[in-house]
Structure 1
Amino acid sequence: MMRVLIVDDEQLAIDRLAGFLSDIDGVEVVGNACNARAASQAIVELHPDLVLLDIQMPGRSGMALAADLPAEDRPEIVFVTAFEHFAPDAFSVDAADYLLKPVRFDRLKQAIVRAQRRIRLSIAAAQGEKVVAETSRYLREIWVSVRDGQVRLDVELIEWIEAAKDYVLLHTATRSYLHRISMSALEEKLDPEALMRVHRSAFVRPSLVEKLERPGKGSLNLVLRDGAIVQVGPSYVKDVLRRIGPAPASQ
């Protein structure tokens, strides 16, 4: 059971997150806090596995709190904020995810799954296990920024990609990385068989698509294994259906 602490200075935001979390299996809300000081104390007392952390709060910010948490026994952090411009700082403190308000259920569920995987991988690493990725004749790795410098990200670990103004968000099973590159430049470097462009603002790993949704005439959404929903651009629908759609029924 994943133990979650919710930190936000607005009770309505806490209630909304708690309501969503009640519908996600394997999650228990162990407490909430309305400021960084109370959150710091709750982390020490409750030992949560994950903290859903607002950034802008009275007094000390959530970003400052996350930056000061000791590396040892540090809970996973998912920032929840109304402001997208904090994203570079969020990933520099090794956040598992970054959710924009109003939070959608599918994105929250994806963040929970990602945090759970990060915890499992951390345990496995402590036991001396290694994660091995396959090579590719296309771009095989990307240097991405993290809290204390840069790391080499294996492209095989990327599950989907979305545009974020002058950056892209590279979503893996355990966290997202912010990387400065255009979508068109990235498309030239990626193996289209592994990461297919499905929108001018998104790439998806086809093997992770579990469901096709049609919310309206001519529109198409892809539901990934971890619950993320990715919209397909109108000009990409035919190619996506040809590639990953159901096979036509035999006559």
Structure 2
Amino acid sequence: MMPVPITVAIVDDEPLARLALKTRLAHRPGFELVVEYGDGDTAVQGLATLRPDLVFMDVEMPGRSGLEALRALSLDSRPMVILVTAYDSFALQAFDLAALDYLLKPVDDDRFDEALERARRAFLWHRKNEEVRLPAPASWTHTFTIRTGTRTVLVRAIDVERIEADGDYATLHAGGKTHLVREPLHLLAMQLDPLRFQRVHRSAIVRIDMVEELRALTNRDALLRLRDGSLLRASRTYMPALLEALDRHKSQDVSQARCG
């Protein structure tokens, strides 16, 4: 039995931007582009009628913006959303709309794949809840199995403070020790719980609660200081998702403190 494809809509007023997304999607199995729109007003009418599973929504468009278009849709007709924009100032609004991800133009291939993986997991989860017979969603990685010679070491994901790229492999930093994982960083980023971990650079993933200070840099990147004193650079491509994650983490801390 063939898996059910995830139907996709693209909303962007720039034809070249739509073409770039279409080209990428054409090389990703399991996703089927069903419609594209060049403005927010047309998108509201079309999305409510066609009800695609996922929409890539440009934030700023002439007339009705992408955010306004999403708010105009009822919750039961609103698809999964990946926001696409040239600006990084809409992260918190994306969070309010429960967007799956927030991509900055020009879209990076690795970030595009990470966003699609989030959509795939969310799609399978929703289909499961609707009692449709589909494979159960893959769980996030909870334990890393590290083999060094004849030894096997188990490292819990919650103990990992950061992960850094090491060529085609990656290095885990946990409890003052390092462990080499024979898997590239971009694949690890798709396997880790986004509520706990965020990719902050092409070469680094950080556990969200390890971030103690964020200092903006002039090129819209940021310098992160972790609780163990480590410094990491966060690139502008990953900043919106990181800011959203940090804000969500802060909100959870406040809620827990009030309950306590």
TM-score class normalised by the smaller sequence: 0.5 to 0.7
Match of residue 90, structure 1, among 70, 74, 94: 94
- Give the letter aligned to residue 5 of structure 1: A
Partner of 1:117: 121
Match of residue 24, structure 2, among 3, 9, 20: 20
- Give the letter aligned to residue 224 of structure 1: L
Matched ranges for 1:210-249 at <5 A: 211-212=183-184, 222-225=185-188, 226=190, 230-232=202-204
* C-alpha separation in 2, matches of 1:113 and 1:230: 17
Question: What are the superposed Cα offsets for residues 108-144 of structure 1, whole Å, 9 maximum, x if unpaired?
Answer: 12111211211221233344xxx9xxxxxxxxxxxxx
- Give the letter aligned to residue 69 of structure 2: L
- Give the letter aligned to residue 25 of structure 1: P
* C-alpha separation in 1, matches of 2:80 and 2:129: 16
Q: 1:87 to 1:72 in 2, by over 3 A?
A: same
* C-alpha separation in 1, matches of 2:73 and 2:37: 16
Query: Match of 1:223, SS?
Result: helix
Unaligned runs of 5+ in 2: 143-155, 165-170, 192-198, 206-229, 232-260
1:105 to 2:70 alignment: no
1:196 to 2:161 alignment: yes
- Cα offset, 1:192, TM superposition: 7.4
1:76 to 2:48 alignment: no
1:40 to 2:44 alignment: yes
Q: 1:204 to 1:79 in 2, by over 3 A?
A: farther
- Give the letter aligned to residue 186 of structure 2: V
- Cα offset, 1:13, TM superposition: 0.2
Question: What are the superposed Cα offsets for residues 193-215 of structure 1, whole Å, 9 maximum, x if unpaired?
Answer: 5333236xxx98999x7623xxx
Measured on the aligned residues, the alpha-carbon RMSD in Å equals 3.5
Matched ranges for 1:170-209 at <5 A: 194-198=159-163
Partner of 2:227: none
- Give the letter aligned to residue 49 of structure 2: E
Kept in 2, the 8 Å contact 1:81–1:99? The answer is: yes
Kept in 2, the 8 Å contact 1:210–1:224? The answer is: no
* C-alpha separation in 2, matches of 1:111 and 1:33: 20
* C-alpha separation in 2, matches of 1:88 and 1:73: 22
Q: 1:210 to 1:5 in 2, by over 3 A?
A: farther
Q: How many residues align?
A: 165
Kept in 1, the 8 Å contact 2:163–2:173? The answer is: no
Q: 1:30 to 1:210 in 2, by over 3 A?
A: farther
- Give the letter aligned to residue 2 of structure 1: I
Query: Match of 1:60, SS?
Result: coil
- Give the letter aligned to residue 13 of structure 2: D
Kept in 1, the 8 Å contact 2:44–2:70? The answer is: no
* C-alpha separation in 2, matches of 1:33 and 1:210: 42
1:51 to 2:23 alignment: no
Deviates more, 1:53-62 or 1:70-79: 70-79
- Cα offset, 1:8, TM superposition: 0.4
Match of residue 12, structure 2, among 5, 8, 17: 8
* C-alpha separation in 1, matches of 2:173 and 2:76: 33
* C-alpha separation in 2, matches of 1:210 and 1:2: 31
